[in-house]
A and B are shown apart, each in its own frame.
Chain A
Amino acid sequence: MNATVIGKPIKRREDERFLRGQGRYVDDLRFPGETHAYFLRSPHAHARIRSIDTSAALAAPGVLAVFTGEDLKADNVGSLPCGWLITDVNGEPMKEPPHPPLAQGKVRYVGDHVAVVIAESYLQAKDAAELIEVDYEELPAVTETARALAPDAPKVHDEFADNCCYVWEIGDKAATDTAFERAKHITRLELVNNRLIPNAIEPRAAIALYSPGEDRYTLYTTSQNPHVIRLLMCAFVLGLPEHKVRVVAPDVGGGFGSKIFHYAEEAVLTWASRKVGRPIRWTAERSEAFLSDAHGRDHVTTAELALDEQGQFLGMRVRTTANLGAYLSTFSTCVPTILYATLLAGQYKTPHIHCQVTGVFTHTAPVDAYRGAGRPEATYVVERLVEQAARELGLSPSEIRRRNFIPKEAFPYSTPVGLTYDTGDYEATLNRAEELADVAGFAQRRQEAAKRGKLRGLGYATYIEACGLAPSQIAGSLGARAGLYESGEVRLHPTGKVTVFTGSHSHGQGHETTFAQVVADRLGVPIEDVEIVHGDTDRVPFGMGTYGSRSIAVGGAALMKALDKIIDKSKKIAAHMLEAAEADIEFDNGVFRVVGTDRQVTIGEVAFAAYVPHNYPLEEIEPGLNETAFYDPSNFTYPAGSYICEVEIDPETGKVEIASFTAVDDFGNVINPMIVEGQVHGGLAQGIGQALLENCVYDPDSGQLVTGSYMDYTMPRADDLPSFQIDMHGTPCTHNPLGVKGCGAAGAIGAPAAVMNAVLDALRPLGVTHLDMPATPHRVWQAIQQAKQQQAA
């Protein structure tokens, strides 16, 4: 390998254009003759649509068209599909209600799409939408996860008996129950994993164009996976031939999962672009984003841990109710099942685990993957339980973990919940984290804080993640309706310059730098000679996109495969050029050499020969140097880490401050440590946001979104966060060519439990033993008051 490129903190090449305002986001694109769309959304959580009168809107200035669900139905527009089939414990498929892109007959959450107005200007469309008369019959709604299955809960979908989408389970129930019978101690927790609203800095946007001459559609959209959008939209919703549709996801300003899914607006705009005959653009207002982007998390869980007298884990039982929202978004069903319960072993050798998950419909926005997707929820359950058990047994949080870690010599290790971890060294990351966090000095810091009237607490989380989605065979057996490989294409130009096409998509992750490092390193060419292309179905062969920290582990591996093919072919060409046997050609740092001699050609010379085959063995090798590969991983990757959070609480106000946060992660090999640190920083910010600040609240009576703007939904700000202490300790992944594991979600997975454990550690002396996220000043103060009252009683 070329040691000067891989592992170096090279500055992000894309930042140059982003920082200069030269990025090209969907909303920056302009097309001649374009029109503007405005979506009329439901003001009610649940209502029957008696009638819609669009005549006044149609007559309004500048209006070109108004469409409702009936128009789509008349044109046989289909339902937005769900990409993962979950099978119920009774063997039946999950309940799969239709999800029309514009509501038909009923609206089922505040923000549900009712009609679209297309006009010469956005304001004209918006003004006209106010003239649409919708006669709603308001109906009662249920928004709360825990209430969705109550006998009197209003049904979200009339065709089903109740609001249950599926009951799903994993693990050996009988063995787990037996473990609990043998237990010396059982720790039990009731936990709420708070619902979150993603809030990427760029709101969703789309522009659709139809070209009648070519009979071809183009959709520009803020997507993490344009090929997936094209596939779902063509095959399931619009019935269009895939080769007649191009989907482009240009620069995208953050996704965090919320831009994976195929949304109604994309299908409606594409369909309407042909009806209207002109380009149509739409950019969500921030208020629309709050209402209609798929939300995240929203679990209610009962969790139990069985232990013996030494604090060894004997078994874990988890019952979770997961809110899926009103309709099934693209990956909604697998997030609280496959991506959640399989992670409940954590870093521990817990022998028996059983988990049952009930997915429920409610009158809320669809819930789907959000940074970490299931894995933060699992880690929160495991790490809260472990720390609670330590307190109950009088063990230190460090000791109880060390007694139960999967030892490093036990890898590969098969968990009781279906995964096989390839590598890890959990003691090593914990040792480093404890050293960095100066755990030894904590007692003194706590004393010093007490003198200032503050409560200081220390909390741990040692998380595991399964990412690098995914082995298609395993995913398929678990209900995935698609493969989860990735594609890559490497094109050497005659001058030796390189264009790389990846099916991954960068929306902030820095692929244009990291992937260029991988390619430059492998080919031995300057990084300036490598360009990374992504996000365009016309340019990239295929792609499953970017989510679940899969880009480098799967997309990077696909590139490595394509690079292998390039080098194999180049060796043949070099052998011909050097008049040597192919077996005698070695390749190193951009140069093909006859072993043991100084006869050599550079890869640039080989590329030129391939494209200018004047003296070339045409009968043996094709001209050109362009190779494509698809890589399907043989296993998930398993990043892991130890996080330690130290907080200080003002008992008078209940305000929690993060005094320090230490994260030591095992991401395997690291291509660009600066970018990885940036990913960890962002993840930690979102994890701390979930623990202390963010909370999506629907009014339980009206079903209105109470936290519908930044006035009430608390995003983390820079001054909420400390300067993070970050380190890495890598055990390379054993089954992908780069030995990488993925780092995108880690911070959001590990941070919530570490923060909450620290908050509870600080409050424990006052008698507080439980708190749900977010630990807002108000909640912390209330918990302190309740503990005081209980102690007084």
Chain B
Amino acid sequence: MYAFNYHRPDSLEAAIGLLRTCEDGLFLAGGQTLLQSLRQRLAQPSDLIDLGALPELSGIRREGDQLVIGAMTRHAEVAASDLVRQSIPALAALAAGIGDAQVRNMGTLGGSIANNDPAADYPAGVLGLGATVVTSERELAADEFFTGMFETALEPGELIREVRFPIPRRAGYVKFAQPASRYALVGVMVAESAAGVRVAVTGAGPCVFRVPAMEQALAQDFQPQALDGIEVPADELNDDLHASAEYRAHLVGVLARRAVKAALAGL
């Protein structure tokens, strides 16, 4: 780790203002990816602006038919929240399955989606549930938020405030862990709501993506077998030490069926 200046502002405005004045500053949320990069000397920011003291960024609340989760809410809080477990149990289960206990106690929703790791769980949750990302500047639909591998629509200096999840009729998230890291080798979120069915896949490609063919089939018949015969092309999927693109494509089908089953079971 190289030396850097550390700041812990107590307001959103101060945080954004600090970043503007720094030479090469970075926001620090839960730090579960950033601190590792620093320790491995893969990043050398001049300043870290810790968002841990901004009360407006955390908390979980229900607003009408939406579940609103503050950007700095830790995974463990989401996993344990009665509100989340009652309104979107699949989201609580997703959070409970991220990393290990230490990661869940530090890692945050906003940090995870801002980083947009191709194997992270939350992008599938946000995209699959059709959530809206509220930033310091604007509101972004999940479909426009995730733009590529480790890339999002966030502009420099733009901070995520909260994520608004429409509460679905039913949803299920199932992931298959990469054996070593236990990140999602493939993870699939399936959600059915009045607006239709959404299927979002993480881990398999360079960025979380939806599978329209599956969504259409499930809209007709929300049953696992409705997905039989629907294949995800392997061409653009990740191919690495742990899984070929073909295996990942196959797992998308398997896990989507299991996610439907989980949704039907109300898990």
B86 within 8 A of A: no
Cβ B241 vs Cβ A707 within 8 A: yes
Query: Looking at the complex, which one of A127, A652, A697, A776 makes contact with B179 (CB distance below 8 Å)?
Result: A776
B242 an interface residue at 8 Å Cβ cutoff?
yes
- B218 at interface (Cβ–Cβ under 8 A)? no
Cα separation A713 to B243 with both chains bound (whole Å): 14
Q: B188 contacts the other chain (Cβ, under 8 Å)? A: no
A653 to B247, CA, bound (A): 9
Asked whether A653 lies within 8 Å of B254 as measured between CB atoms, the reply is: yes
| B33-57 interface bits toward A, Cβ cutoff 8 Å, 1 = contact, 0 = none | 0000000100000000000000000
Contact A777 B179 (CB under 8 A): yes
User: Interface SS of chain A: helix, strand, loop or mixed?
Assistant: loop
Q: Give the complex CA separation of A711 and B117 in angstroms.
A: 14
Smallest CB gap from B1: residue in A: A123
Report A192 CB to chain B, min CB distance, Å: 16
Question: What is the chain B residue whose CB lies nearest that of A655?
Answer: B176
Main secondary structure of the interface of B (DSSP, over half): loop
Structural contact, A712 and B241, CB atoms closer than 8 A:
yes
Known contacts A652-B254, A653-B254; A778 and B244 CB within 8 A of each other: yes
Instruction: Answer whether residue A608 sits at the interface, using C-beta atoms and an 8 A cutoff.
Output: no
Q: B251 contacts the other chain (Cβ, under 8 Å)?
A: yes
Tell me which residues from 259 to 282 in chain A have a Cβ below 8 Å from any Cβ of chain B.
none
Q: Which of A655, A713, A782 makes the CB contact (< 8 A) with B180?
A: A713
Decide yes or no whether B169 CB sits under 8 A from chain A.
no
A653 to B176, CA, bound (A): 8
Q: Please determine whether B181 and A778 come into contact, CB atoms closer than 8 angstroms.
A: no
Contact B250 A781 (CB under 8 A): yes
Q: Is the CB of A782 within 8 A of B244?
A: yes
A778 touches B180 (CB 8 A): no
Interchain CB contact under 8 A, B247 and A782: yes
A residues within 8 A CB of B251? 653
Q: Whole-angstrom distance between the alpha carbons of A706 and B241 in the complex?
A: 8
B13 to chain A, nearest CB (A): 34
**B54: min CB distance to chain A, Å:** 30
Q: Which one of A127, A710, A776 contacts B181 once the chains associate, using CB atoms below 8 Å?
A: A710
Query: In this assembly, does A2 line the interface, its C-beta being within 8 Å of a C-beta of chain B?
Result: no
Query: How distant is A6 from chain B, measured CB to nearest CB, in Å?
Result: 41
Residue of A nearest to B40 (CB): A287
| Residue A693 interfacial (CB < 8 Å) | yes
Report the minimal beta-carbon distance from B38 to chain A, rounded to whole angstroms. 12
Scan A694-714; emit 1 where CB is below 8 A from any B CB, else 0.
000100000000110011111
Could you say which residues of chain B place their CB within 8 Å of the CB of A714? 179-180
Residues from chain B with a CB closer than 8 A to the CB of A697 are: 241
Residues of A with C-beta under 8 A to B242: 712, 776, 778
**A710 vs B180: C-alpha distance in the bound complex, in angstroms?**
6
Chain A interface residue number, banded: 20 to 34
Interface size band for B = 10 to 19
Inter-chain contacts of A781 with B (CB < 8 A): 247, 250
Which residues of A sit under 8 angstroms from B1, Cβ to Cβ? 123
Q: How far is the CA of A296 from the CA of B250 in the complex (A)?
A: 34
Those of A559-600 within 8 Å (CB) of chain B:
none
Distance (whole angstroms) from the CB of B263 to the closest CB of chain A:
18
Residue from A653, A655, A697 having most chain B Cβ neighbours under 10 A: A653
The smallest beta-carbon distance between B26 and chain A, in angstroms, is 20
A172 CB, nearest partner CB in chain B, Å: 43
How far apart sit A710 and B183, CA to CA, in the bound complex (Å)?
12
* Residues of chain B lying within 8 A (CB to CB) of residue A778: 242-244, 247
A701-734 near B? 1/0 per residue, CB < 8 Å? 0000011001111110000000000000000000
The listed residue (B2, B176, B179, B250) touching A693 by CB distance below 8 A is B179
Tell me if B176 and A777 are in contact (CB < 8 A): yes
Annotate B238-267 by CB proximity to A: 1 below 8 A, 0 otherwise.
000111100100110010000000000000
**C-alpha spacing A655/B186, complex, angstroms:** 14
Cα–Cα distance between A182 and B250 once the two chains are bound (Å): 48
Q: How far is the CB of A518 from chain B (nearest CB, A)?
A: 40
Q: How far is the CB of B238 from the nearest CB of chain A, in Å?
A: 12
1/0 per residue A352-387: CB within 8 Å of B? 000000000000000000000000000000000000
CB distance from B107 to the nearest CB of A (A): 16
B residues within 8 A CB of A707?
Answer: 180, 241
Distance in Å: Cβ of B121 to nearest Cβ of chain A: 16
Q: How far apart are the CA atoms of A776 and B179 in the complex, in Å?
A: 8
Closest-CB distance, A586 to chain B (whole angstroms)? 60
Q: How far is the CA of A655 from the CA of B242 in the complex (A)?
A: 13
- By a CB distance below 8 angstroms, the chain B residues around A710 are 180-181
| Distance of A410 Cα from B86 Cα, bound (Å) | 69
Q: Which residues of A contact B250 (CB under 8 A)?
A: 781
- Ranked 6 nearest A-B pairs via Cβ: A714-B180, A714-B179, A711-B181, A652-B254, A778-B243, A712-B180
New A-B pairs, 6, CB < 8 Å, besides A711-B181, A782-B247: A654-B247, A693-B179, A707-B180, A707-B241, A776-B179, A778-B244
What are 25 pairs between A and B in contact, CB < 8 Å?
A: A287-B40, A652-B254, A653-B254, A654-B247, A655-B176, A693-B179, A706-B241, A707-B180, A710-B180, A710-B181, A711-B180, A711-B181, A712-B181, A712-B241, A712-B242, A714-B179, A714-B180, A776-B242, A777-B176, A778-B243, A778-B244, A778-B247, A781-B247, A782-B244, A782-B247
A residues near B (Cβ < 8 Å) are 123, 127, 287, 652-655, 693, 697, 706-707, 710-715, 776-778, 781-782
